Amino acid sequence: MRVDEVMTRNVRTATTETRLEEVAAVMCLNRLSGLPVVDGDDRLVGFVAERDILHYLFPSLDDLMENSGIRDFEQMEQQYGATLGLTVTDVMHKGVVSVSPDTPLLRATSVMVRHKFRRIPVADADGQLVGIVSIGDIHKALFKHNLLNSQQRRAA
């Protein structure tokens, strides 16, 4: 089985100029952990995840060294509202990892496991986003395929 057989084709995306408030709303309302970032031609240029937004709230190593490593986490939470005023380009990963539509399912799974991703963008040879596939999509497809084969063997 290949990625293009199970991927989601209607993908919610962001651009580098999208405000994080909009991205966070899409993520929270649609239960998404991240969004591919595309340019005006739908070419994949990055990925923004929930952890990227939340990571922005944490101090830098230099900050920690200056303040003896002591942090007021409740005060850090108050900075979340200001973070939502930033744009995707401020927090996104630019070195995006993707798979092609003809990638075998278990190859795509191995890429996700190696990078600790739950979902991965699917891009064609020109870098144009054509879909997204998740660990859950792959697991469901393999389970369904195995279940059908098992039923066919029993019927024979």
pLDDT average, residue stretch 67-90: 74
Confidence of residue 84 (pLDDT cuts 50, 70, 90): confident
Sequence-distant (≥ 6) Cβ neighbours of residue 39 within 8 angstroms: 15, 16, 45
The pLDDT of residue 19: 95
Say which residues have a Cβ less than 8 Å from residue 52's Cβ, sequence separation at least 6: 34, 91, 92, 93
Q: How would you label 53-63 residue by residue, b for 16+ Cβ within 10 Å and e otherwise?
A: beeeeeeeeee
Give me the number of domains the chain comprises. Answer: 1
Q: What angle do CA 141, 145, 151 make, to 5 degrees?
A: 145
Task: Please give the residue range of the domain that contains residue 126.
Answer: 3-155
Output the pTM of the full model.
0.80
pLDDT value at position 103? 98
pLDDT of residue 64: 53
Q: Which residues pair with 38 in a beta bridge?
A: 44
Per-residue model confidence (pLDDT) at position 95:
84
Q: What is the CATH number of the domain that holds 118?
A: 3.10.580.10
Listed ranges 4-8, 47-51, 57-61, 69-73; the one with the highest mean pLDDT: 4-8
Q: Which residue is listed with tokens 């239960």? A: 31
